Copies of this chain bind each other. A is one copy, B any other.
Amino acid sequence: MDVEIVTIGTELLLGQTLDTNATELARALLAAGARVVRQTSVSDDPEAVRDALAGALARTRFAVATGGLGPTRDDVTKRVAAELFGVPLVTDDAYLRRLEERWQRLGRPGPMPEANKTQAEVPAGATVLPNPRGTAPGLWLEDARGVVALLPGVPHEMRAMAVAEVAPRVAARAEPGRTTVWRTLRTTGISESAVADRVGPLEADLAPLTLAYLPSFDGVDLRITAWRLDPDDAERRLAAAAARVRNAVEAGYYGEGEADLAAVVLDRARARGLRLAVAESCTGGIVGARLTAVPGASAVFVGGVIAYENQVKTRDLAVPPGVIEAHGAVSEPVVRGMAEGVRRRFEAGAAIAVSGIAGPDGGTADKPVGTVWLCAAADERVRAVRVRFPGDRAEIRTRAAQAALDLMRRTLEGSG
């Protein structure tokens, strides 16, 4: 079943707001078994809204629109949709009562203003889709020409209603018993081309499932998608494909979906009964910030030293000044010394240390901008690696923090 998305709001055409609704809605409709063939954004102008909705109806007989349902005069969607279906706006008494109850429940003073009552006006014959997070109801209009579903433009209201109200109705009309679902496997510390070398040969076997490579500063995510299959078949094939892909990327794999590498590191350290400290130079606190972003980090994470200036490395982490003079602050002995120093000082069994040149200045022929030494220590196991990261200062720092966490993960796992 083909559908079109129409997002309504002048701010979208001024380049002031990223259209996250279009993306979220596309995902929800796809998961419900529909195919989104076009997405259109128009301003709050009635003509433009009418033209966009009528065009979508004519092409696919199914339009899902967001925005323009509020109580102000900018909000024209409901009126235009009613005209398009040739029906008047009428007050929905049940919805009006709910609005008034809500007004009183929230303890607002005085009677509900007239402007709010317009929220209860709906095109005659439309189905009202309840909005648990706001006052503008969703609407479902349908006649021989097709369906127009209207959702509010506030993202968290839209998202909840897309999943609860629109997706089930779409699924009931889409190819019966078909779904499009995916799983995302997260990898890091392995280049996109190395991932492709390992996983590429599997692709033909995985069909009809498809595999997409999604590289970012954090690594390469692998998305396996099952298109329009029977739900059980899709789940079974996805599970088998995920196992094969995971096997192929070996130690590069660290989790699925939204898995966070910092949380994985904390889990691995907890499992080994180790407490963790950090010593950061060029990352300046990013590794600590990522670890402490995880709820409950305090069970494992002790703290750290941001050793930005060399004097902090010598005085607070006991790296001998002579070692810095001889090898430079960005060197294997210094990063090893930082890890050992912070372990001793904080009485931690595990430590991460980072020292590098994030730029834009400070690079040399031997150690160009992007050169970073990383060290991970866990009990007697201590590993240090030199990496050269591409990109600008922000990219180098982000990549260095991720690589430092990954070195810690691999060291804790005893993997490659």
B293 and A394 contact, CB distance less than 8 A: yes
A301 and B292 contact, CB distance less than 8 A: no
User: Which residues of B lie under 8 Å from residue A39 when comparing CB positions?
Assistant: 12-13, 40-41
Q: Closest CB-CB distance, A241 to chain B, in whole Å? A: 18
Q: Which of B37, B40, B307, B358 contacts A38 (CB 8 A)?
A: B40
B295 and A308 contact, CB distance less than 8 A: no
A305 and B308 contact, CB distance less than 8 A: no
B30 and A23 contact, CB distance less than 8 A: no
B284 and A292 contact, CB distance less than 8 A: yes
Cα A22 to Cα B16 in complex, Å, equals 11
- For chain A residues 1-28, which have a beta carbon within 8 Å of chain B? 12-20, 22-28
User: Which residues of B lie under 8 Å from residue A42 when comparing CB positions?
Assistant: 37-38
A288 is an interface residue with CB less than 8 A from chain B:
yes
A286 and B285 contact, CB distance less than 8 A: yes
B297 and A289 contact, CB distance less than 8 A: no
User: Which residues of B lie under 8 Å from residue A304 when comparing CB positions?
Assistant: 285, 305-306, 308
How many copies of this chain does one complex carry? 2
Chain B residue nearest to A289 (CB atoms) is B285
A43 is an interface residue with CB less than 8 A from chain B:
yes
User: Which residues of B lie under 8 Å from residue A296 when comparing CB positions?
Assistant: 361
A291 and B302 contact, CB distance less than 8 A: no
B14 and A30 contact, CB distance less than 8 A: yes
Cα A37 to Cα B38 in complex, Å, equals 16
Q: Closest CB-CB distance, A6 to chain B, in whole Å? A: 10
A24 and B15 contact, CB distance less than 8 A: yes
Q: Which of B27, B292, B308 contacts A308 (CB 8 A)?
A: B292
- For chain A residues 262-321, which have a beta carbon within 8 Å of chain B? 278, 280, 282-293, 295-298, 301-309, 311-312, 316
Q: Closest CB-CB distance, A268 to chain B, in whole Å? A: 18
Q: Closest CB-CB distance, A319 to chain B, in whole Å? A: 13
Cα A37 to Cα B358 in complex, Å, equals 43
